[in-house]
Chains A and B, each alone.
Chain A
């Protein structure tokens, strides 16, 4: 009974806490400060709607099947398959070309227009309706032969064929009835072909073509007999590839062959991009600036002045041509093009109708950059600045003069502006890119994996600028292209500056690109090709002109500082590298001597275990712009438990197999200055994927518990104790003794796709942890619920700790993206706004969702529905009333005096 009472009490407490923590949106706030952009990914297969080409059906590398409107590029419908390629990868797409649905033979099935094959054994065959994307039928097969991942598919007359080449042996062909999955023949036909090899063979439609020595062998997989034909080719080392657009055309070497009769129909001398549209060969001829799309005798389309934002490596994914109305025997075509950097463009009559930037599905780095000041604000700033500089001789008269001068300037500007004679507005002013009162308007600088750089408005979602960094790619070891902020917008007359550190695709050397993130314009030389390979990069803390210098370490352990004038600032900087494969951590100190900087190794650490079975999967440091306002935690007896806030602390996660426990997961907290291991934890029979956040004095990570088969989330807090060893200075070399550690693990019902903490300008606002769930929801989890000090003891009323309950309940009211599901979330980015209460959030994955959250409610902002009208009426009323009453009172006293 007592127990029951306690649990009842707990429930009451939790309910009260949870309801007070709810921060759900009101219905009328939907879309007010959030937006979502949907994407599909880079096209793998694409077809136009055969009837009138008003939509295109695309299958992408993000495992998405979608219909895109030809008019404006909007997504009409979208099917997102599993992220996991063994189930979700789209291996085959067939769209009916006759302009009518494929009716099944017996007519008992509803007509379907689209067939897809997904996954890698089992293979899922699905039929869709083109207009609404409805799934009409689905069946799956599981191949029992070896290497089923080599499977190929084609569709012919109501039947799906599964082709499984067993390299150097034979080809297995199985025919299935398309809509039901019934095998037409009970057995799989096996075609003996010992000559087939992986690199020299392609399947196009029903023909399986291979280059064997100096011959082209073509196998007709449907024909019962005489299925093998040969043709001699010029050179034995020719490449073989499929020409899109028709099921029976391939290119061998430079000649384009029709596989039906093995005739050469075209010689592709310049090796340009080809496409077949109703027996016509379409060439894509590209120059520096313009692109021409030609048939043998006519120019179909020519795009002059290809925008710089499009990679000029265009590929035709689909075409739709129809004769022009004016009977000139010419055809008008619509092309669906895709570029190397992932963009999709629709070209019609020589014009680009629309472009979809699908590279935004693969984001490698994001930064929110504060906008610059408007001219008026800048003038004020300048006035104040000049006052600072001449601090000694800033007497009243001169500051009055400055004030009057700047006001005169403002008035002059206004007058000139009204007369239309003023200076032309700058780029940022034209675009409305000036800082707002609350600092909520920012520029999102997004670096994608394909080397495309975007500057996107976080309020409207508009792309203000796009840049393509040609030949750049991310680093190996899963290290994407780096985007670092060298100078923020706070130093007014100096421009904001960001830098991108990438790798050259061919040579592997480093690339540096410095630019202004607000305008997208290059700074200094712009793209800088380095003559060395970058091993690791870091951002120093101080530099001249508030520009944080970059520190680059090349493969020979030479240190490079950019700009070079900041060599001195690197002295005494601590630097560490982590080797994922070996599990080695190395710590260095940068030494500046004789105008030269060197790496001085200071410590090293092996986290790989004795046989290097543990692999480092995550290295997480704290956000460098984070500020911690509260230095401690108040306990129930009103004493303080001081936080262990070590800015040099990193968390290293290692995962690996274990002989006894099957899987081991270790988390180490390491001080990178001294190299000391502050704390270590290990989880037996636990494995990834690990998602981790490291902030202030805490660490939260999620993992999969293999033993009980559930997702768990662990939180750790570090405390220095009841006294602070040094309240003014933190030095890792003279660090306090090992901290007190509080830890707690919770069960979470959903697997987590991404974790991130909220961040605010001064760190006064509570921290919440944003959890992206696999279902596409992003939940704001109050730290109160993750608190490791929640334990099973009876709650102490003062500290306000909720009693421990193993399950972490996901409150649906705390979903920040309400019903706007974000597909395939890969990361969350948070940035502080000018308002202390508000944190800007960007969730990315297949879609991009931008919103803002206020973990402690908007305590520094009036509510949206604040009644300005009422309060001003009341104020005015009171003031007038007091004046009237004053007058009346005066009259009365005079009257009384006369009596």
Chain B
């Protein structure tokens, strides 16, 4: 009890300031972990371990060994020694996952091709719906690229290539849909499609006359 007190009394001045920084760090870590928890479900870290912080001040811990544990040091938490290694692991996973997401549209192309082929070139409700969907989906995806890749942004590596690939894949999909539109004859690519907007020619000369009256 005295020791504790001593410990406590030791925690003055310098110690106090250190504690404050530790607390700060802790809260930061907490925040990051919270986020990670919500976004990265595959994290191997167990829930309980996540609650064990590297630095925490426990006043009621009894020293298990002879050597006094430095105040504020949590022995059980010290076991998470491979934290750094694990972080790199996670990054790799995130990268992998982000590549998965980025390559998704390209992987969907053969399927799309098959569906388009099956739908045929006749203009009826289902092919039109299909073409519409296959046009709107990639467009939507392109516009929501930021949101899709937001969860991957915390890793150190840049995810710009993924985004680029994702964008390109969607472009390919749009191209496919447009080709489908073209083969269905829905694109105004011919002169005849603009005929209705052609203005009549202005005449320069005016004329009149007819059979003689005499």
Q: Interface of A with B (CB < 8 Å)? A: 475-479, 503, 533-541, 551, 555, 572-580, 616, 619, 621, 624, 627-632, 634-635, 638-640, 645, 647-648, 672-673, 726-733
Contacts and interface: CB of A to CB of B under 8 A. Distances in A.
A578 B201 contact: no
A748 to B, nearest CB: 27
B203 A647 contact: yes
Interface string B125-168: 00000000000000000000000000000000000000000000
Contact of B211 (A539, A578, A634): A578
18 contacts: A535-B212, A535-B213, A537-B213, A540-B208, A574-B206, A575-B209, A576-B209, A579-B211, A580-B211, A621-B208, A630-B195, A632-B198, A639-B191, A640-B195, A647-B203, A730-B204, A731-B203, A731-B205
Contact of B191 (A551, A619, A640, A672): A640
A578 B199 contact: no
A639 B190 CA distance: 6
Contacts of B190: 638-640
B202 A729 contact: yes
B120 interface: no
Contacts of A624: 208
A616 B212 CA distance: 11
B207 A555 contact: no
A479 B213 CA distance: 6
A578 B210 contact: yes
A690 to B, nearest CB: 14
B206 A541 contact: yes
Given A580-B211, A632-B195, A634-B195, A729 B201 contact: yes
Nearest to A798: B185
A733 B190 CA distance: 30
Majority secondary structure, A binding face: loop
A476 B202 contact: no
Interface residues of B, number: 24
B76 to A, nearest CB: 49
A732 B205 CA distance: 7
A728 B214 CA distance: 39
B98 to A, nearest CB: 44
B204 A731 contact: yes
Given A634-B192, A638-B185, A639-B190, A648 B205 contact: yes
Nearest to B199: A728
B110 interface: no
B211 A727 contact: no
Interface in B168-214: 185, 190-193, 195-196, 198-214
A631 B198 contact: yes
A536 B205 contact: no
Given A645-B200, A732-B205, 11 more contacts: A478-B211, A536-B209, A536-B213, A574-B207, A619-B211, A631-B200, A634-B195, A640-B190, A729-B201, A730-B201, A730-B204
A479 B211 contact: yes
Contacts of A479: 210-213
Contacts of B210: 479, 536, 576-578, 619, 621
Nearest to B191: A640
Given A630-B195, A631-B198, A728-B199, A503 B213 contact: yes
Nearest to A652: B211
A621 B210 CA distance: 9
Nearest to B208: A538
A576 B212 CA distance: 9
B200 A536 contact: no
Nearest to A503: B213
A861 to B, nearest CB: 21
Nearest to A632: B195
Q: Which 9 A-B pairs have the closest CB atoms?
A: A538-B208, A576-B209, A574-B207, A475-B213, A730-B201, A638-B190, A634-B192, A731-B204, A631-B198
B214 A727 contact: no
A594 to B, nearest CB: 22
A733 B200 CA distance: 18
A160 B191 CA distance: 76
B204 A729 contact: yes
A616 B205 CA distance: 25
Given A535-B214, A727-B198, A672 B209 contact: yes
Contacts of A533: 213-214
A573 B204 CA distance: 10
Interface string B54-80: 000000000000000000000000000
Contacts of A632: 191-192, 195, 198
